[in-house]
Amino acid sequence: MNKDYYNSFLDAAEKSIKENKGAQLFKTRDDIGSLFVDRDETTWRFRTMLQHTIENLDEELNRFEKHFTNKNNAVYWASDYQDVFASLKKIFKAQKVRSVRLPNINASTIFRELGMKFFLQEEKIALSEDGDIQFFVADMMLADLGALLLLNQSNNSYSRLTNSKTNVFFTTIDRIMSNSDWAEVYHQLATYRSGGNTQEAVFFKGSSQCNNYLFIIDNQRTQLLYNKDLRQSLTCLQCGRCQDVCPVLQTIGDEPYNNVFSGPIANVTLPYLESHESYKHVNYACLLCGRCEEVCPISLPIRDMIIDSRRALLLEGNVDKREQRMLTAERKQLMSRSKMNASKMMKNIKLGCFFTSEAKKTRKLPVFKSETFNKLYLKSKNS
């Protein structure tokens, strides 16, 4: 890692915090590669730090809270959305809030996960440019400094943050790093998909000029934490790169998920974040091809976790036998060259037979191309 650049950023951030402005803006450099001397080693050390944080989550969260809390900064622990809404109602009442400033409520996963839009509608709280208070997504908590890292891609902005009297931040228990030295590496890796090199981030500690409320939400993440094989899924940066390469998602979209979480890592996490019963099928929306792991910036062993997750659900007796039979038959069809050289009509009929009527209610069946496997193979070889 290029320490000189990073140290200068950190010095500026600390100075700004001491001057009581509370927030420091920083931009990543144009060339993502310039951040790393040895990219593999840096990302490996970064992942180790994240893993260490998750392994010691209770201590790190306490450390963060201790450093962050003061007379202007308050932390609210919320086990689920009901806790969040109950506390928010109290804040709204105490501050006589009638409107909230929050650009693009639909773009942030955490607001969709909580169902914030519907809550605000129910409470008759308007979304407006000059809202009484402002909502932000806290992308990362920095435990050693008690500061928040807010990325521009989550609709956070420096000007919004420094021009407000009351700020409410939302994050989840897994969005934490023990060591703030890695803040820029995180910033680079997490925003790479959306053009990380032009993204900005804000380093926020709070100031005496504004009141800050931070919600730290569990929403079932502790279920993953209890499972020692799967807890590393909590270190996912949510960069989305694995989604772009997954052949299952490219072919059938995110229909099997029907949730705000989708994609390779959701195959592991979704049954835990929601319910095993409703989401056990997403474990099987994977060919174990490994493309997701190739692009994952922190080399998460996604396939191993998917297999572990399948095994865990199997041991709990939480596997749909009909679904299993359906997928086995489908796999046999797809892996047989002679069957794939049959006519389009035959292949589509067989596929239709494999799917249970229950599955057909919620999924569209894929349609085979008219050419046989052999013809398509020769075509791709000659192109």
The binding site for ligand SF4 (CB under 6 A) comprises 236-242, 245-248, 264-265, 267, 286-292, 295-298, 300, 302-303
Q: Minimum CB separation from ligand SF4 for residue 233, in Å?
A: 8
Please give the angle made by the CA atoms of 306, 307 and 312, to the nearest 5 degrees: 95
Of residues 196 and 264, the one with the C-beta less far from ligand SF4:
264
Of residues 63 and 241, the one with the C-beta less far from ligand SF4:
241
Buried b or exposed e, range 99-113, using 16+ CB within 10 angstroms: bbbbeeeeebebbeb
Q: Minimum CB separation from ligand SF4 for residue 230, in Å?
A: 13
Of residues 224 and 300, the one with the C-beta less far from ligand SF4:
300
C-beta of residue 312 within 8 angstroms of C-beta of residue 229:
yes
Q: Minimum CB separation from ligand SF4 for residue 262, in Å?
A: 11
Q: Minimum CB separation from ligand SF4 for residue 88, in Å?
A: 28
SS3 of the chain: helix, strand, coil, percent, to 5: 55, 15, 30
Tokens standing for residue 316: 């709990």
Measured in whole angstroms, the distance separating CA 196 from the mean position of its chain's CA atoms is 16
Sequence-distant (≥ 6) Cβ neighbours of residue 17 within 8 angstroms: 24, 147, 205
Of residues 150 and 305, the one with the C-beta less far from ligand SF4:
305
d(CA 24, CA 18): 11
Q: Where are the alpha helices (DSSP H) in 227-301?
A: 241-245, 247-252, 264-273, 276-279, 291-295
Tokens standing for residue 351: 């596929």
d(CA 194, CA 187): 11
Of residues 13 and 236, the one with the C-beta less far from ligand SF4:
236
Q: Minimum CB separation from ligand SF4 for residue 248, in Å?
A: 5
Of residues 87 and 259, the one with the C-beta less far from ligand SF4:
259
What is residue 380's DSSP assignment?
H
Q: Minimum CB separation from ligand SF4 for residue 10, in Å?
A: 24
Q: Which of 60, 76, 61, 72 is nearest to 22 (CA)?
A: 72
Of residues 307 and 329, the one with the C-beta less far from ligand SF4:
307
Q: Minimum CB separation from ligand SF4 for residue 47, in Å?
A: 9
Q: Minimum CB separation from ligand SF4 for residue 236, in Å?
A: 3
Tokens standing for residue 138: 């806290």
Of residues 59 and 294, the one with the C-beta less far from ligand SF4:
294
Of residues 100 and 300, the one with the C-beta less far from ligand SF4:
300
Burial class (CB in 10 A: 0-12, 13-18, 19+), 270: buried
Q: Minimum CB separation from ligand SF4 for residue 270, in Å?
A: 12
C-beta of residue 276 within 8 angstroms of C-beta of residue 313:
yes
Sequence-distant (≥ 6) Cβ neighbours of residue 106 within 8 angstroms: 112, 117
Of residues 102 and 302, the one with the C-beta less far from ligand SF4:
302
Identity of the amino acid at 244: D
Helix axes 264-273, 302-315, angle to 10 degrees: 30
Q: Minimum CB separation from ligand SF4 for residue 220, in Å?
A: 18
DSSP secondary structure string for all residues of 95-149: HT--EEE-S-GGG-HHHHHHTHHHHHHHTTPEE-TT-SEEEEE--EEETTTTEEE
